[in-house]
């Protein structure tokens, strides 16, 4: 698992070299953007949320993904919101987990998300920071509605 995380980190800096060597599998939806510009999840907090984003066409896929994450990793699976809630600009489902679950869950989620974008954020006592400075992504970032934090 450490190797996978290492590759995940290296991937951001050396995507072309590693892709050319065939040492990693390509992640097509991020290869078109500039590698390294999207903050990717790092295990530096005690607790985390992953918010899986989806829409009317992908709600079934998201439901299966979140249920499977709960089954496999014992993470807490929140409600599948078929509406926008909190700062989230899309329909979403929350997975809650900690640092001991991170290294198994996050690479799995990245491999299994099937094009769904996932916000992963650390949990501190500062909700605004959690959704800005502590925010990272699997897939494409979305602009969050920070007005819920008074911004």
Applying CB under 5 A, which residues contact Zn ion? 49
CB of 28 to Zn ion, least distance (A): 27
CB of 77 to Zn ion, least distance (A): 13
Closest to Zn ion by CB, 11 vs 97, is: 97
Determine the Cα angle at 31 with ends 25 and 33, to 5°.
160
Closest to Zn ion by CB, 15 vs 105, is: 105
Helix, strand, or coil (residue 95) = strand
Whether the Cβ atoms of residue 124 and residue 45 lie closer than 8 Å to each other: yes
CB of 6 to Zn ion, least distance (A): 26
- CA–CA separation, 36 and 150 (whole Å): 30
Closest to Zn ion by CB, 11 vs 117, is: 117
Closest to Zn ion by CB, 49 vs 113, is: 49
- CA–CA separation, 14 and 104 (whole Å): 23
135, with CB counted inside 10 A (0-12, 13-18, 19+), is: buried
Residue nearest to Zn ion (CB): 49
CB of 84 to Zn ion, least distance (A): 14
């Amino acid at each position: 698992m450490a190797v996978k995380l290492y590759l995940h980190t290296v991937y951001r800096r050396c995507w072309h070299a590693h892709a050319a060597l065939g040492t990693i599998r390509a992640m097509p939806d991020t290869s078109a953007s500039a590698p390294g510009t999207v903050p990717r999840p790092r295990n530096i907090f005690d607790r985390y949320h992953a918010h899986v984003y989806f829409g009317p066409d992908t709600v079934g896929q998201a439901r299966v993904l979140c249920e499977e994450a709960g089954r496999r990793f014992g993470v807490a699976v929140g409600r599948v919101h078929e509406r926008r809630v909190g700062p989230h600009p899309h329909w979403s489902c929350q997975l809650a987990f900690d640092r001991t679950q991170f290294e198994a869950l996050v690479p799995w989620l990245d491999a299994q998300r099937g094009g769904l974008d996932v916000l992963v954020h650390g949990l501190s006592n500062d909700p605004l920071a959690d959704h800005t400075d502590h925010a990272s992504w699997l897939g494409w970032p979305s602009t969050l509605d920070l007005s819920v934090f008074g911004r």
